[in-house]
Amino acid sequence: MKKDFISLADLAPAEIQGLLDEAVALKAEWQRGGNKPLLGGKALGMIFQKPSLRTRVSFEMGMHHLGGSAICLSPDEIGLGKRESVADVARVLSRYVDGIMARVFAHSLILELARHSAVPVINGLSDYNHPCQGVADLLTIYEKLGSLKGVTLAYVGDANNVLTSLLFGGSKLGMRVVAATPPDYAPSPEVLEPARRFAAESGGAVEVTADPHAAVRGADVIYTDTWTSMGQEAEREQRLQVFPPYQVNARLVSEAKPEAIVMHCLPAHRGEEITDEVMDGPHSAVFDQAENRMHAQKAVLASLMR
């Protein structure tokens, strides 16, 4: 039966841990001189509605490391759902490639691609969630702290697609995930309800607060992201009035554990959600996290296309 990678909510805890273990092994193998050609002769079709640095390069290099190839398809080349129906794009690409990765605005497009594709579909980002980033983030925490169960992650800022995947993945693996957001920008009940259910099953916890200082107190990880995501540009000025108390700066970091790490999925708006002092400072794991997109995605690709 065809498997897709749509949301961390769809995976059992053992499956997420299996991806992390494989990513660790593939990264170590790559550092020793290169990966085995697990996907030799395989091709990944990559659909982009949104601009990309990390997603495109990490998937393209990931396929290259595993002996396969990747084809990048820009909005002008496809016009997903405009020039051609989503269903027809999925049916045609399925005849050419062994897997499809899509980075889109609306999550419904990912679901429709998966419904009509005969090959695995990977959610490279949607307005709902970002599971590829989630696996890379969990991998980074696992590497830095040696464990996930019992780790406290404080997310500070906007309850966006990245937070959704952190809530799902962290709660499945027994983490305590605390989201500090302005009241009008908090996670939705549709996200919190399953995350809290997963946490109850794993021994983790999911908490929401409007106080960033309370959230980071005793935290092992502080995580932030841009206050205005792609597609929200019209709200930028309003958001710039609301979010400054949620900036991750040296004072906020000092309230976490002394050995806490700071994460950001990038691109960063330096001076807004995070200061240069923190992003370039000793607590920052930001660029190790960016590299781990490639290693985490190799694990996802191998699990689906091998």
CB 213 within 8 Å of CB 249:
no
Q: Which of 130, 196, 264, 283 is catalytic?
A: 130
**CA–CA distance, 129 with 21 (Å, rounded to integer):** 22
Tell me whether residue 133 is one of the annotated catalytic residues: yes
* pLDDT higher than 90, residue 233: no
CATH value at residue 35:
3.40.50.1370
Instruction: Classify 302 as helix, strand or coil.
Output: helix
Res 176 pLDDT > 90: yes
Share of the chain above pLDDT 90, in %: 92
What is the pLDDT averaged over residues 194-223?
A: 98
pLDDT at 79: 80
Q: Is pTM, for the whole model, over 0.95?
A: yes
- Based on the domain organization, do 147 and 94 belong to the same domain? no
74 and 187 share a domain?
no
Question: Looking at the domain assignment, is residue 89 inside a domain?
Answer: yes
Q: What is the pLDDT of residue 83?
A: 84
Banded model confidence at residue 81, pLDDT cuts 50, 70, 90: confident
Query: pLDDT tens-digit profile of 129-141?
Result: 999 999 999 999 9
Q: Is 103 a catalytic residue?
A: yes
Strands 176-180 and 121-125: unpaired
Of 265, 289, 295, 297, which one is the catalytic site residue?
Answer: 265
Catalytic residue among 225, 239, 283, 297: 225
**Residue 168 CB burial class (10 angstroms; 0-12, 13-18, ≥19):** buried
Task: Pick 164 or 230 by higher pLDDT.
Answer: 164
- In total, how many domains does the chain have? 2
Q: Does 283 map to a domain?
A: yes
Position 3 in a domain: no
Residue 188 neighbours by CB distance under 10 Å:
10
The helix/strand/coil state of 78 is helix
Whether the pLDDT of residue 103 is over 80: the answer is yes
Considering 103, 116, 239, 295, which one is annotated as catalytic? 103
Q: Assess whether 130 carries a catalytic annotation.
A: yes
Structural domain contains residue 1: no
Catalytic residue check, 232: no
Note down the domain range covering 268: 133-289
Q: 228 with 99, same domain?
A: no
The pLDDT of residue 231 is above 80: no
65 belongs to a structural domain:
yes
Active-site residue flag, 265: yes
Split at pLDDT 50, 70, 90, the class of 192 is very high
